[in-house]
Amino acid sequence: MTKTRSFFIAASRLTARMVVMSALSAVVTPSFAQQFGQDLYTGVMTVEVFANTAMPVTPTTSPHYALSIYRLDAMSNLEAQMNEGMPQDEAEARLWVANNEARLRQMIQPMVASAVNGLARAQRYQIDRLPAVVINQRYVVFGYVDVDQALMAWRDSQN
């Protein structure tokens, strides 16, 4: 079985369970995550979270695995940030952009790179709704912005 085929099988098995698990996610408490201890992170090498800026993802860093957070609405938010503080008059706006070009480039480049990379990765995993957590570049769990809860749901689906 090819790696791609096994990914889709694993993802489809998870999808049905994750719909039910996402409805139960409010019941899961942080103390439950503490009961799992280190076992929660055993075998977890990478975690990728796909969300929008309105979704507060936790944690934002992890000593247990490589964590990447992709905000898929970053490009649309970029325009709003660019227009912030910009004068309405065209001549004044041109001058403002010229005076702030270095700062704008520094602000924009990482956001654009992250957004483009996130969109490409989301397409690769065929993510069709948010939030989504991808574990080890193989398993997709939908409905969680708390990575520990997503890992618990994934572990539960493995049994």
Domain spans of the chain, in order of start: 3-158
Least confident of 19-28, 29-38, 148-157: 19-28
Angstrom CA distances, 92 to 13, 20, 126, stand at 56, 54, 44
pLDDT surpasses 80 at 1: no
Output the average pLDDT for the chain.
79
Out of 35-49, 73-87, 116-130, pick the least confident.
Answer: 73-87
For residue 70, pLDDT over 90 is answered with: yes
Higher per-residue confidence, 37 vs 17? 37
What mean pLDDT do residues 46-57 have?
A: 95
Cα 72 from Cα 50, distance rounded (Å): 7
What is the average pLDDT across 80-102?
85
| pLDDT tens for each residue of 106-141 | 888 888 888 889 999 999 999 999 999 999 999 999
Two tokens at 148? 């520990």
